[in-house]
Amino acid sequence: MLAKNEALQREFERRLVNDPKFASSARKRPQFFYDRSSYNYSELNRYPVARLNALLQVKVAEF
């Protein structure tokens, strides 16, 4: 990824220098690349939420 994208490389190197927690974290560095990759699924764990404006009358089948 870094070889193909100079802006990404500069951003990563800048973050390594300016953020000591990021530089020392074995978890945050790979996450940086995953978040910017095509494999990142930003809709994960997002659920649709809707508001009902009227009470629904639903019949439940009896067994």
Give tens-digit pLDDT for 24-35: 999 999 999 999
| pLDDT per residue as tens digits for the range 3-57 | 999 999 999 999 999 999 999 999 999 999 999 998 888 888 888 888 777 877 8
Question: How far apart, in whole angstroms, are the C-alpha atoms of residue 51 and residue 63?
Answer: 30
Percent above pLDDT 70 for the chain: 98
Is 18 within a domain? yes
Residues contacting 28, CB < 8 A, separation 6+: 21, 22
Is 48 within a domain? no
Distances in Å between the Cα of 32 and the Cα atoms of 20, 37, 40, 49 are: 14, 9, 11, 29
Is 57 within a domain? no
Distances in Å between the Cα of 21 and the Cα atoms of 12, 32, 33, 52, 63 are: 13, 13, 16, 45, 59
Is 40 within a domain? no
